[in-house]
Amino acid sequence: MNMLINAAGTVVADALRGMAAAHPELVVDAENRVIVRRDAPVAGKVGLVSGGGSGHEPLHGGFVGPGMLDAACPGEVFTSPVPDQMVRAAAAVDSGSGVLFVVKNYTGDVLNFAMAAELAEEEGLRVASVLVDDDVAVTDSLFTAGRRGTGATLFVEKIAGAAAEEGAPLERVEAVARQVVTGTRSFGVALAPVTTPAKGTPTFELPAGELELGIGIHGEPGRERRPMMTSHEIADVAVDAILADLRPDAPVLALVNGMGATPLLELYGFNAEVQRALAGRGVAVVRTLVGNYVTSLDMAGCSVTLCQIDEELLRLWDAPVQTPGLRWGR
């Protein structure tokens, strides 16, 4: 197992120590597994909290900062954080204006965030939750009841984060987040399997010369396995799968996301094909983000996420953001 680690059992703790050293603008509690923006709580501001298993970086800890999340709770690799982490995070960012939990639709995350919301409310915090379930590939996978939460999480955290940064009340921030979820769909492809530090070997088999269409971010099975395809062909499959589920009647934001081991050279080439496919189907793209944002450790592959927007959502997307994983306008 060739990995840049000390031991499988210390991967997350070591990463958090390194993150703390690299980003003094964050308060990184490696013992309690909570990452908080240093100026939290911000007076009059709704707090945004998210989290999930480690291994998807920069999601979620890399999106903590002005204009996005106020706190994130990293679990062990591909394992949900626990309610105590979420309650601690909520308490750290609550200014009296309430806290919004952004929850990807994985069974452990859903159950633990629900329990955390109850515990936080018992402590006097006002909490709302938004469930992200954008993946069109499969329903009821190994990790979920219903659709998986994937690339839409970035759009929810950025756009709802901008609304919160402007001082919008909890009800408005929640409504914006739900609007983004409703108008966003994703589809992923694996070119090579993922290896977790604990297992040390690939979590699934994918023979050379084949790919998996509709894969999840934990290596869950997709819709089907096919012989290797060209970037042109993969883009058509991904775009058609999304548009079969959500036909935009407005412009979209596009995320062409790497799964962790795919070079930017390939991702930009794939983006060219995604843009071609969308233009040919009459879909207008107003902003595009290309890179590794919602990853799966060392999996080779990509995903496409489309977010239908209006003028207000576009304004919030363009608003300043300053986090380790996403920054512009500041």
Annotated catalytic residues are 56, 218
Of 139, 156, 157, 158, the closest CA to residue 148 belongs to 139
Cβ-based neighbours of 67, under 8 Å, separated by 6 or more: 158, 161, 162, 165, 319, 320, 321, 322, 323, 329, 330
Residue type, 247: R
Residue (of 139, 150, 218) closest to 186 by Cα position: 150
Q: How far apart are CA 141 and CA 163, in angstroms?
A: 32
Count CB-CB contacts under 10 A for residue 40: 18
**Residue 48 CB coordination number (10 Å):** 29
**Cα dihedral sign, 220-223-224-226:** negative
Query: How far is residue 102's CA from residue 90's CA, in Å, rounded to a whole number?
Result: 12
